[in-house]
Amino acid sequence: MDMYKSRFHIAAMDCPSEEHLIRTVLASTTSILRLEFDVPARGLVVWHEGDSAPVVAKLDTLDLGARLVTSEEVGRDAVPETEERDQTSVLRLLLAINATMFVVEVVAGWLGESAGLLSDSLDMLADAIVYGIALWAVGKASSAQASAARVSGWFQLMLAVFVLAEVARRAIQGSVPEPPIMLGTAALALVANVVCLMALSRHRTGGVHMQASWIFSANDVIANLGVILAGVLVMLTSSRIPDLVIGAIIGLVVLRGAIRILRLARVSDQSDNQQEGSMSEANAWDRLAGKYDKTVKHFDRSYPRIREMARADLGGRTHVLEVAAGTGQFTFELADAAGRLTATDVSPEMVERLAAKLAERNLDNVTTAVMSAYDLDVQDGALDGIFCANALHVMETPNQALAEFRRALRPGGRLVIPTFCHGIDRRRRFLSWFLSRVSPFVAHTKFTPDSLKEMVAAAGFEASEPTLLPGKFPIAYLAADRP
């Protein structure tokens, strides 16, 4: 397929948040090989295969005033190295430099009895580990990059506490630092960190994991200059005080960097959460669509029982709406039970994959549609059944969805809503917390069977007693009727 280089002017792109939004929207377009942003000039260059129309269509959905300026055919050798590959090369270099300098500085600090060098060596170790974490985050979603930055920040925080404790220990027990060793080693470390900083310079405004790496390297340069200053002062005054003071300052600089990184990760999370309220929620599930079938298998122990119970509860209903259908984990059984089934999901990619499966079965009583649980495209009282499995817990405002379900159901209509119970015991609450840090699955409401029943009843339904089904996260199966 021919390769093209298309230039866009995006009138409303004036800060990194718009860049992040555009990256999210274009992430599912497989024909794109590389993106290059020039935010100050509101410019975007896209290297892609085939026609530019799919790219234009995706950009138009954002309503940012995107305009195609030029699109020219280019050879494949004209495509710059992908950003992910470039980041990987840089981070591998940084990892090697910091791991080597950790060994050099820890030996020199021990032999030279320097708190400053030992503090800086542990900083190098932290950086090496952090760069390894950043390597893992390259090419992943912004949520994974924020998680990598958060882990890095907490590690840096623990290191800062250790460094300050070591300085205090040396102040109490005493030490005699050796200026020549301090100066020589710190000068070598300064050269190494300047090289790291230069390598990172073109990525300092990239993903949050790369911004965290830039902060680490900038802190290292400051620390190296401090150790050199301490070495000079120790040599001039024959006192260990400058070494201890610089060691403490390095600890505080590391602490400050940890706090900045944790704040950066939190801001990134807030940006993602704000966007998930609209079209970016669909994009998040779009990215999972390709591996969704494999992912849910880890949690589907009770799915056969749910299918059996749902057939009994919704059998004979004239028109059933399936909300959050995904790629069709329950759709086919519902199609057998209901006269007419509309299977919906907020993710266009999920719906496309589900439609392909339905086409293979040649089912004529099932239609698919892209639809949000918060805004069902049906008339008031048009449905006599709604099925929504294992989705209520990941909705930010489940009460809003339940109100919409009640609006769409006719009196006597039935809601079947099996839901993962993340709050049933301490172990599941911890596992839920852990998954929210390392995966896109976030349980905004940690249900128990009782709390699920209470919420559904409060939304105006006559809720039956839930049935608890076993699993890594137990599932509360609940059927409720609209009065």
Range with the lowest mean pLDDT among 181-195, 200-214, 273-287, 388-402?
Answer: 273-287
Task: List the structure tokens of 334.
Answer: 């519902």
d(CA 257, CA 48): 38
Grade residue 8 by pLDDT with cuts at 50, 70 and 90.
very high
pLDDT score at 272: 47
Radius of gyration of the chain (CA): 28
Grade residue 294 by pLDDT with cuts at 50, 70 and 90.
low
Q: Provide the strand spans (E) within 283-408.
A: 319-323, 340-345, 366-370, 383-388
pLDDT in tens, 75-96: 877 776 555 566 677 778 878 8
pLDDT score at 308: 93
Is the predicted pLDDT of residue 177 greater than 90, yes or no?
A: no
For the 3-78 domain, the top CATH level (class) is alpha beta
Q: Which residue's structure tokens are 């039935």?
A: 414
Stretch 431-455: mean pLDDT, rounded?
83
Most confident of 35-39, 48-52, 436-440, 479-483: 479-483
Q: What's the whole-number average pLDDT of the chain? A: 80
Most confident of 149-153, 226-230, 246-250, 369-373: 369-373
pLDDT score at 407: 95
Domain ranges (residues) in the chain: 3-78, 83-276, 291-481
d(CA 94, CA 131): 7
pLDDT score at 112: 77
Mode of pairing for the β-strands spanning 319-323 and 383-388: parallel
DSSP H or E run through 477: strand 475-477
Backbone torsions φ then ψ of 65, nearest 5 degrees: 75, 35
* Nearest of 93, 97, 87, 123 to residue 211 by alpha carbon: 87
Grade residue 276 by pLDDT with cuts at 50, 70 and 90.
very low
pLDDT score at 284: 56
Range with the lowest mean pLDDT among 27-41, 99-113, 316-330?
Answer: 27-41
DSSP secondary structure string for all residues of 218-279: HHHHHHHHHHHHHHHHHHHH--SHHHHHHHHHHHHHHHHHHHHHHHHHHHHHHHHHHHHTTH
Task: List the structure tokens of 38.
Answer: 């020039």
Range with the lowest mean pLDDT among 46-55, 177-186, 395-404, 445-454?
Answer: 177-186
pLDDT score at 275: 43
pLDDT score at 389: 92
Exposure of 437 in the CB half-sphere (CA atoms within 13 A):
12
pLDDT score at 137: 55
Exposure of 15 in the CB half-sphere (CA atoms within 13 A):
2
Q: Hey, how many other C-beta atoms are within 10 angstroms of the C-beta on 380?
A: 10
pLDDT score at 314: 93
Range with the lowest mean pLDDT among 123-132, 243-252, 308-317?
Answer: 123-132
Q: Please give the angle made by the CA atoms of 465, 466 and 468, to the nearest 5 degrees.
A: 140
Order of strands, edge to edge, in the sheet holding 479-481? 366-370, 340-345, 319-323, 383-388, 409-416, 479-481, 462-463
CATH topology of domain 291-481: Rossmann fold (3.40.50)
CATH, domain 83-276, list 1.10.3470, 3.90.25, 1.20.1510, 1.10.287: 1.20.1510
Q: Are 244 and 185 in contact (CB under 8 A)?
A: no
C-alpha 103: how far from its chain's center?
Answer: 33
d(CA 359, CA 364): 9
Is the predicted pLDDT of residue 205 greater than 80, yes or no?
A: no
- Point out which residues pair with 462 in neighbouring strands: 481
Better-predicted residue by pLDDT, 279 or 38: 38
Report the SS3 class of residue 185: helix
Is the predicted pLDDT of residue 460 greater than 70, yes or no?
A: yes
Backbone torsions φ then ψ of 85, nearest 5 degrees: -65, -40
pTM of the model: 0.48
Most confident of 117-131, 150-164, 349-363, 370-384: 370-384
**End-to-end CA separation in angstroms for the chain:** 58
Is the predicted pLDDT of residue 140 greater than 80, yes or no?
A: no
Angle, in degrees to the nearest 10, between helices 142-173 and 241-276: 160
pLDDT score at 360: 86
* Nearest of 316, 260, 299 to residue 439 by alpha carbon: 299
Backbone torsions φ then ψ of 231, nearest 5 degrees: -60, -40
Q: Fold match between 3-78 and 83-276?
A: no
Give me the count of residues in the chain: 483
Is the predicted pLDDT of residue 208 greater than 60, yes or no?
A: no
pLDDT score at 270: 47
pLDDT score at 477: 95
